[in-house]
Structure formats: structure tokens, C-alpha cells
Structure 1
Amino acid sequence: MADGLQIAIRTLLAVVVLFTITKILGKRQVSQLSLFEYITGITLGNLVAYVSMDLNTEWYLGLIALGVWSLVSLGIEFLQLKSKKMRDFLESKGRVLIKDGKVLEDNLKKERLTTDELMEQLRKKMAFRVADVEFAIMESSGDINVLLTRENQPITARHLGIKVGPEQEPQAVVMDGKVMDEPLATMGLSREWLNKEMEKIGVTVENIYLGQVDTYGEFYVDLYDDQIKVPIPQEKASLFSILKKCEADLMLFGLTTRNKKAKEMYERCAAQMVGIIEDLRPVLQR
């Protein structure tokens, strides 16, 4: 067999084996790899190159080496799942770098981290002053996570005492001009509903690059032609304005009527409408 053909066959075989091993070992981002996983990745790459290019040795020896490394890696991962001590030994523990706005210089030295590198990582977390940081820790992956002081944390609805409606992930019901039936069924919707929504905005399914339905059944589309402007769904805003108008009408009827019982009824209904609007506000004003 010609050397070139033999190398091609070996390379294809090595790629298949490496892909299979990678699927078995699982997937992680490079920043999440432990030291042993990093070493394993480098070793597997070298072994694949050995299997592909070294024609002077038997190719199956490289596959055996790949298998042994894979089994060792799986064994290490199993031990990590079962033992906290093993996780700490292989991945090390997180180390606190800042506490109560004070830099812990000794811990910086242990991690061989300079002040410039620390400040760079803090700026990535939108913390430009050490005094604004309540707590910072270097994780075993090397990432630095930051907890800002209470006054420097972003304001949320909870801080303002505002209730917000629950949120679920939107479903892509149209993709590349094709209707996705499974996400539609997940949302409890049908193709007839989708066709009506497309008629409202005047588009056909072939013109839609991506169409999504949110938690509240509103349909958002991105078209192939970016020059076409698609109206933003206004159902929730319209319903909110109708409810506010009903509230105003009930209050007006209560003010203008001379019948005492009717006035009490209108005022009672207006108060109930206010309660309904407040209950629905987190949903209607998202």
C-alpha cells in the first residue's frame, strides 16, 4: 500500500477514534479544564498524530495507548464525582483574593497573580475600584468571580419591590423558512395560529429567517430581507390600555351618577379593576 494512502486511512481512523473518545469524555470549554484534563487533551492529540504519521510502528499500538488514556481519564472523572478530596487535589480549591474591599496580598502571591492582572480581571466584571468589591475569588478554572458591594450592584425589580411575571425560554417556531412543529406543540400552538400571526404582519413563512414565540404567545420574526420593517407585537399594550380605560370609565360613572347604590357599585367595581390591573401589570408591562 502506498505511504500516502496508508497515512490517509490511518488519519481517518484516528479522527473517528478521537471523536468517539471526545464524545465519551464529555465536553468542556478550555477555561473549565482541570490540569489533568488539559494534559489528557494534549496527550490524545499527540497520540493521534503518532497513529496517523508513524509508518514504522504498528498502528494498533497507538489505538491501545488512546484507549488506556481514555480509561484513566474516565476513572479520574469518576473519582472526582465521588470524592471531594480528589476534586480538591486535582482541580484545587478557589482562593479568596478580595474580602470586604481589601486585597489579600498573600493569596495573590500564592496564585502568582500581579496587581495589574487582578485589576484587568476586575474591569472585565465592571469593577473599576477595589473599594467597590465586597468579595472576589479565583475559581479552580482560573476565572475570577466578583461580588460588588450592595450599593454598587445593578438595580433589579426585586430591589424596587416590583413583581414581575414568570419567564420561560422562547421557542423558535420558524427557522430558515421552515415551520418547526415540535416547538409549536411545546407552546400549545398550531400551524393555524402561526398562519394568522403571519397574516397580521403580512409575511409568509418563506420570508422568515427566524421566528420565535415568547412565554406570553407573542410572535417575533427576523426576515431574510433586513430592509423590511416588521411591526412589534402590541397585544399586551393594547390589553393594558383597555383595562385602564375600563377603570377610568367605572370611576367616571361613579362620579356622575346620582343613584347611591349605583355609585357604590361603580366604586366597588373600579376598586376591583385596580386590583386586577395591579395583578396583571408584571405580565402586561414586560
Structure 2
Amino acid sequence: MDWMQVVFKSLGAVAMLFLITRILGKKQISQLTFFEYITGITLGEVAGFISTDMEAHYINGVAALIVWFLVPYSLELLTLKSKRLREWFEGKGTVMIKEGKVLEDNLKKERYTADELLEQLRTKSVFNVADVEFAILEASGELNVLLKKDNQPLTAKHLGIQVAPERESQAVIIDGNLMDEPLATAGLSREWLFTELEKIGVTLENVFIGQVDSYGQLYIDVYNDMLQLPQPSVKQLLMATLKKCEADLALFGLSTKNEDAKRMYEGCAEQMGRVVETMTPILKR
């Protein structure tokens, strides 16, 4: 029956397209270059053709798919080693704005209008061309923008503030199920997790998503959105404890009459003060 042939051919085409896409890599589903765009369209056309054309030989369509797979795959291997070939097949970026000045010749070269350029700038939250230090149109068609120094947002580095490095949060609970691998990656155990859930007052089955951040704090989202949960306070408690230690050491130094003990307590209080200063950017995040 014809419909059964279409089903089997379609299933075969889907399987081959999936395998080809997996081998060609993630570039085929990201921002495409000209050649990748042509390859993707043609592979789809060929797959549709061999799925529905009852008169053509199925093996001919398979051969066409293999050719359209081998050509871009071979070119990818070659372009990895040759910058000239990369520029030829993938293109290269074009500078559209430099030092707040629009380069009209480059706009004409890329067949870009002023309206299209302004629209692309607005997608980057830039509404004034004069604020732009540098803007380049990438080979993928995306416009990347660098603002002038005085228009860039302030960062902790600009303010001279020390911040701690951030690590990936681990999802230790998903749909009420405990995830052992992320839990082990965070260096934590099941016993720790159950203890934290008990502190909050929820059971594992009621948790939709549970994440542990780089500081070992557990954040959870439960199925019942109306339920109010206590916020994590590990960092606040640690900061309060460190400050109390500093205050206690200073108090001991003031209350003792022994000069040696006084100097020891004062020195320890100064050291604890430096510890508090170092940990403040981490514990107040």
C-alpha cells in the first residue's frame, strides 16, 4: 500500500536526517552561515522528496542525502585548518559603526539600510548611534555592539569591589525525584538534602525543582505556589557569627588586665576583621 511506503520512507528519512545533524554538529541548528543555510534547506528538500515520491528509487534519494552530508562535513574539516577557506565559505564580519560613525560604504556592501541598522541596535538596547564605539555585522547576520567606555554599565571591577567566583548551580530535585549525580557534583549527600528539606518543612514529593548554589544553599520551588517558604539564611548566619567572633575578641582585649593577653586578643580581633572584610563580598551576594 502506498501510505505504508510513505510511512516507512519517512521514518527512514527522519532517522538519516537525525544522524546527519548529530554528526554535523550544533552549528546546523544555531546561527547559520550562507553555506550551512543552503545545506539545511537542501537536506530538508531531499528528505521530503524521498519520503513522498512513489516513482523515484528510494536508494537514489539516500545517495543524494549522503552527498549533501559528505560535502559540508568535508568542508568543515577543511575550514578548521584554513582561514582563507573559512572566509570564503562562511564569510567574515563587516564593521558597520566605528567610534560612533556609521560606515555607509560597508552598509551598502551588505545591502543594509539605516532603518535596519537602527532596528538591530535597538535589539541590543542601544538607541543612540553616538554611544557606540564599535559595531560589527557577523557572518551569521548578528550585529554585535561595543558601547563607549562612558556608556558601559558599571561592574564590580569598575568600583574596585572584590567578588567571589560563581559556579554552576546543581539541580538536585526535579519533579519530586532526587538527582544523585548533581548532588554528588555539589559535594553533598542525601542525608544533607533530607535534613535541609526537614528544616524548611517540605517533603521530597512536594518539590518541583530544587537547586543548590555554589555556596551550598538550597533553593526550592514547590508545586503549591501559595505556600510561603523560609528563605535560605546560611550566608547571613555565617556573617553574623564572624562579626560576633570579632566583637568578642575585641571585648576580651578590653576587659583583660594582662598586657600579653590584651595584645593577643587585639591581634586576633584584627585578623578576624580582615577575614570579615574578605568574606563580605561572598556572603552578601
TM-score (norm. length: structure 2):
0.95
Matched residue, 2:154? 155
Question: Residues 77-156 of structure 1 correspond to what in structure 2 (within 5 A)?
Answer: 77-156=76-155
Contact 1:31 1:142 in 2 (8 A): no
Whole-Å Cα distance in 2 between the matches of residues 243 and 21 of structure 1? 58
Shift of 1:247: 2.1
Whole-Å Cα distance in 1 between the matches of residues 253 and 234 of structure 2? 29
Deviations 1:15-52 (A, max 9, x none): 11111111111123656211111111111111111111
Contact 1:173 1:213 in 2 (8 A): yes
Deviations 1:129-154 (A, max 9, x none): 11111111111111111111111111
% same residue: 59
Matched, 1:49 2:53: no
Whole-Å Cα distance in 1 between the matches of residues 269 and 97 of structure 2? 54
Whole-Å Cα distance in 1 between the matches of residues 264 and 166 of structure 2? 36
Matched residue, 1:181? 180
Matched, 1:219 2:213: no
Whole-Å Cα distance in 1 between the matches of residues 255 and 119 of structure 2? 66
Whole-Å Cα distance in 1 between the matches of residues 151 and 30 of structure 2? 28
Whole-Å Cα distance in 2 between the matches of residues 29 and 191 of structure 1? 40
Contact 2:107 2:113 in 1 (8 A): yes
Q: Which amino acid aligns with 2:99?
A: D
Q: Which moved more, 1:239-248 or 1:271-280?
A: 239-248
Matched residue, 2:14? 15
Secondary structure of the residue that 2:27 maps to in structure 1?
A: coil
Q: CA RMSD in A?
A: 1.5
Matched residue, 1:231? 230
For the structure 1 residues 178 and 32, does the alpha-carbon distance in structure 2 shift closer, same or farther, using more than 3 Å as the test? Answer: same
Whole-Å Cα distance in 1 between the matches of residues 29 and 108 of structure 2? 24
Secondary structure of the residue that 2:214 maps to in structure 1?
A: coil
Q: Which runs of 5+ in 2 are unaligned?
A: none
Shift of 1:253: 4.0
For the structure 1 residues 245 and 228, does the alpha-carbon distance in structure 2 shift closer, same or farther, using more than 3 Å as the test? Answer: same
Shift of 1:181: 0.6
Whole-Å Cα distance in 2 between the matches of residues 3 and 12 of structure 1? 14
Whole-Å Cα distance in 2 between the matches of residues 14 and 92 of structure 1? 31
Q: Which amino acid aligns with 1:15?
A: V
Secondary structure of the residue that 2:162 maps to in structure 1?
A: coil
Whole-Å Cα distance in 2 between the matches of residues 184 and 64 of structure 1? 47
Secondary structure of the residue that 1:188 maps to in structure 2?
A: coil
Contact 1:31 1:141 in 2 (8 A): no
Contact 1:135 1:146 in 2 (8 A): yes
Whole-Å Cα distance in 2 between the matches of residues 65 and 262 of structure 1? 87
Deviations 1:189-217 (A, max 9, x none): 11111110111101111011111111111
Contact 2:28 2:40 in 1 (8 A): no
Q: Which moved more, 1:263-272 or 1:87-96?
A: 263-272
Matched residue, 2:170? 171
Secondary structure of the residue that 1:5 maps to in structure 2?
A: helix
Secondary structure of the residue that 1:146 maps to in structure 2?
A: strand
Deviations 1:214-241 (A, max 9, x none): 1111111111111112211101111111
Shift of 1:260: 3.9
Secondary structure of the residue that 2:68 maps to in structure 1?
A: helix
Secondary structure of the residue that 2:80 maps to in structure 1?
A: helix
Q: Which amino acid aligns with 1:241?
A: A
Matched residue, 2:60? 61
Contact 2:28 2:36 in 1 (8 A): no
Whole-Å Cα distance in 1 between the matches of residues 127 and 119 of structure 2? 9
Matched residue, 1:26? 25
Deviations 1:34-76 (A, max 9, x none): 1111111111111111111111121111111111111111111
Whole-Å Cα distance in 1 between the matches of residues 264 and 155 of structure 2? 39
Whole-Å Cα distance in 1 between the matches of residues 28 and 137 of structure 2? 17
Shift of 1:281: 1.6
Contact 1:240 1:284 in 2 (8 A): yes
Q: Which runs of 5+ in 1 are unaligned?
A: none
Matched residue, 2:264? 265
Instruction: Work out the number of aligned pairs and report it.
Output: 285
Matched residue, 1:194? 193
Secondary structure of the residue that 1:197 maps to in structure 2?
A: helix
